[in-house]
C-alpha cells in the first residue's frame, strides 16, 4: 500500500450512525496483507524513541484524537541507555502483533561497546523491512534553492554497510564487512520497479560505485538490470554515487525514481531531504513483506531541540498520513495531509528549521483549525 499524492480527489460519504466510509477511487492492493481490524479500530505500535520523538508523537496522537481517526496506539518505550535487548524485543513483538508501527528515532550511544547493535537497525533487520521509501517533493510554501523536485528514493534497508559485522583481527586494523546478496538486490529492484509502475513513473536510476566495488555493487547493478528487463515501459539507467550527489546539488530535477544499496541510500536521501527543505519535512516508510514502520525520513533524534517546542512536526505528521494510507484509511490520510500542506504553505507558521518563528504547538493548532474548517465530521458536532 503506497501513499497517494495529495492532489487526488475523492468523495467521502459518512453515515452518521457508524463509521462506514465509501470511496470512489480504486486502490491498488499489492502484496501487503490487509491489516487487522478489531471493532473497526486499528491498533498501531508507537515507539516514542528519543529526542524530539516523544513530543512529535504525542502531537500525532492529539491530532488523531481530534480527527476521530479509528486508530489506537500501543505505546512501547525503548530505553536507549540500557544494553539489554528486552526493550527492543518487546517492541518487535508488538509490531509483529499489530503489523504497523510509527516510531521516533532511538538514539545510538557511540560510547557503548561495538557488540551493542543500533536499536533502529535491529528493528529493521528483525522485521525484514527491506525497502525504505522516501518521497522528496518540493512543497509550495517552503523557500528552497531548487524548485520542482519530485524524487522517490528506494533504499535497501537491511544489508549493505549496515550489516554490523566488524572485527579487529590485527590490533589497529579494523575490517567492516559490506554484504550484498543476490536475493536482496533482486527484491529491492523488483520493489522499485513495481512502485515506479504503480505511480506512473518513467525512469529508475540505480546508484552504485561499481567501478571500485566491482563485485559487490556490480552484483547489485546486475540484479537491477535483470529486473529492468521485465519492465519494458520504464527506462533504466545507472549512475555512480559521486556523480549522483553532484548532479543532485546542481540539477535535481533530472531524477525520478532512484534505487540503491543502504549507505548510498542514507547519503542520497539526506541530500534530497536537504534539497526540499530539511529534515523536518520529509516522511519515510520502511516496508517489509508483512510489516510496515513509519518514521521521519532522515531518522534524526533531534536531541538538541528536544522539548523546546521548536521541532517541525510536518515530517512526523506526513509519516502518520502514510500510516493511514497503509491501513486503507485514505479519507483520513488525505484530510490530514491536506491540512498539513496548507499549513506548511503558510510562511507565518514556519518553524525555526524553515527560517520562521512558529512553535510546534502553533503548527499543530493551525492544522487542527484547518481540518475543522474543511472537514464535515467535526462541523456536524
Q: Please tell me whether residue 278 binds another protein under the rule CB under 8 A.
A: yes
Residues 6+ apart with CB under 8 A from 186: 223, 226, 227
The DSSP letter of residue 354 is: G
> ∠ CA 38-31-256 to the nearest 5 degrees?
120
Does 242 interact with another protein (rule: CB under 8 A)? yes
All cell numbers assigned to 76? 512501547
Name the residue nearer to another protein (CB basis): 125 or 334: 125
Q: Which of 6, 35, 141, 218 binds another protein (CB under 8 A)?
A: 218
Q: By CB under 8 A, is residue 271 in contact with another protein?
A: yes
Is residue 81 a contact point for another protein (CB under 8 A)?
A: no
Minimal CA–CA distance to 318: which of 94, 89, 56, 72? 56
**CB of 187 closer than 8 Å to CB of 195:** no
d(C-alpha 246, C-alpha 153), whole Å: 16
Among 13-21, 38-46, 265-273, 284-292, which window interacts with another protein (CB under 8 A)?
Answer: 265-273
Q: Is the CB of 12 or the CB of 186 nearer to another protein? A: 186
Q: Minimum CB separation from another protein for residue 193, in Å?
A: 20
Give the Cα separation of 82 and 288 in Å (integer).
27
Provide the pairing of β-strand 283-287 with 292-296. Answer: antiparallel
Q: CA-based diameter of the chain, in Å?
A: 72
- Going by the DSSP 8-state scheme, the letter that residue 212 receives in this structure is T
Q: How far apart are CA 161 and CA 183, in angstroms?
A: 16
Please identify which residue in 83, 212, 254, 369 interacts with another protein, judged by CB under 8 A.
Answer: 212
- The position carrying cell 548510498 is 264
Decide: is 49 part of the binding site for another protein (CB under 8 A). Answer: no
Closest distance of CB 52 from another protein, Å: 14
Nearest C-alpha neighbor of 217 from the set 188, 260, 183:
260
Is residue 374 close enough to count as binding another protein by CB under 8 A? no
> According to CB under 8 A, which one of 219, 319, 327, 333 is a site residue for another protein?
219
Residues 84-143 that bind another protein (CB under 8 A): 108, 110, 114, 116, 118, 121
DSSP character at residue 21: E
Q: Which of 279, 283, 288, 358: binder of another protein (CB under 8 A)? A: 279
Query: Least distance in Å: CB of 86 to another protein?
Result: 21
Cβ closest to another protein, residue 107 vs residue 370: 107
Q: How far is C-alpha 176 from the chain's CA centre? A: 27
CB 280 within 8 A of CB 354: yes
Minimum CB separation of residue 359 from another protein in Å reads 17
Each residue 157-186 as x (binds another protein by CB under 8 A) or -, in order, gives ----xx-x-xxx--xxxxxxxxxxxxx---
Interface ranges with another protein (CB under 8 A)? 108, 110, 114, 116, 118, 121, 144-146, 161-162, 164, 166-168, 171-183, 209-216, 218-219, 221, 241-243, 245-250, 263-264, 266-267, 269-271, 273-275, 277-279, 298, 300, 353-355
Amino acid at each position: 500500500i503506497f501513499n497517494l499524492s495529495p492532489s487526488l480527489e475523492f468523495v467521502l460519504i459518512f453515515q452518521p450512525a457508524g463509521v462506514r466510509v465509501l470511496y470512489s477511487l480504486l486502490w491498488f492492493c499489492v502484496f501487503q496483507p490487509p491489516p487487522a481490524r478489531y471493532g473497526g479500530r486499528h491498533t498501531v505500535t508507537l515507539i516514542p524513541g528519543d529526542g524530539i520523538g516523544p513530543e512529535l508523537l504525542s502531537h500525532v496522537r492529539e491530532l488523531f484524537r481530534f480527527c476521530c481517526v479509528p486508530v489506537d496506539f500501543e505505546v512501547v518505550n525503548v530505553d536507549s541507555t540500557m544494553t539489554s535487548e528486552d526493550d527492543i524485543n518487546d517492541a518487535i513483538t508488538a509490531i509483529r502483533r499489530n503489523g504497523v508501527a510509527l516510531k521516533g528515532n532511538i538514539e545510538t550511544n557511540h560510547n557503548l561497546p561495538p557488540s551493542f547493535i543500533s536499536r533502529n537497525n535491529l528493528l529493521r533487520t528483525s522485521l525484514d523491512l527491506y525497502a525504505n521509501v522516501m518521497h522528496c517533493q518540493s512543497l509550495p510554501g517552503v523557500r528552497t534553492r531548487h524548485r520542482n523536485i519530485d524524487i522517490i528514493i528506494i533504499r535497501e534497508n537491511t544489508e549493505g554497510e549496515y550489516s554490523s559485522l566488524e572485527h579487529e583481527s590485527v590490533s589497529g586494523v579494523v575490517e567492516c564487512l559490506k554484504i550484498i546478496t543476490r536475493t536482496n538486490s533482486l527484491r529491492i529492484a523488483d520493489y522499485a520497479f513495481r512502485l515506479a509502475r504503480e505511480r506512473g513513473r518513467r525512469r529508475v536510476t540505480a546508484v552504485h560505485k561499481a567501478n571500485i566495488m566491482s563485485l559487490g555493487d556490480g552484483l547489485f547493478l546486475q540484479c537491477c538490470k535483470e529486473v529492468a528487463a521485465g519492465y519494458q515501459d520504464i527506462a533504466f539507467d545507472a549512475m555512480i554515487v559521486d556523480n549522483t550527489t553532484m548532479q543532485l546539488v546542481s540539477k535535481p530535477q533530472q531524477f525520478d525514481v532512484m534505487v540503491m544499496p543502504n549507505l548510498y541510500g542514507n547519503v542520497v536521501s539526506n541530500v534530497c531531504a536537504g534539497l526540499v527543505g530539511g529534515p523536518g519535512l520529509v516522511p519515510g516508510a520502511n516496508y517489509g513483506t508483512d510489516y510496515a514502520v513509519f518514521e521521519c525520513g532522515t531518522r534524526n533524534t533531534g536531541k538538541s531541540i528536544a522539548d523546546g517546542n521548536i521541532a517541525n512536526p510536518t515530517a512526523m505528521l506526513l509519516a502518520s498520513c502514510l500510516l493511514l494510507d497503509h491501513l486503507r484509511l485514505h479519507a483520513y490520510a488525505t484530510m490530514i495531509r491536506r491540512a498539513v500542506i496548507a499549513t506548511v504553505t503558510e510562511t507565518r507558521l514556519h518553524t525555526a528549521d524553515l527560517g520562521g518563528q512558529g512553535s510546534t504547538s502553533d503548527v499543530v493548532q493551525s492544522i487542527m483549525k484547518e481540518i475543522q474548517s474543511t472537514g464535515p465530521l467535526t462541523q456536524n458536532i
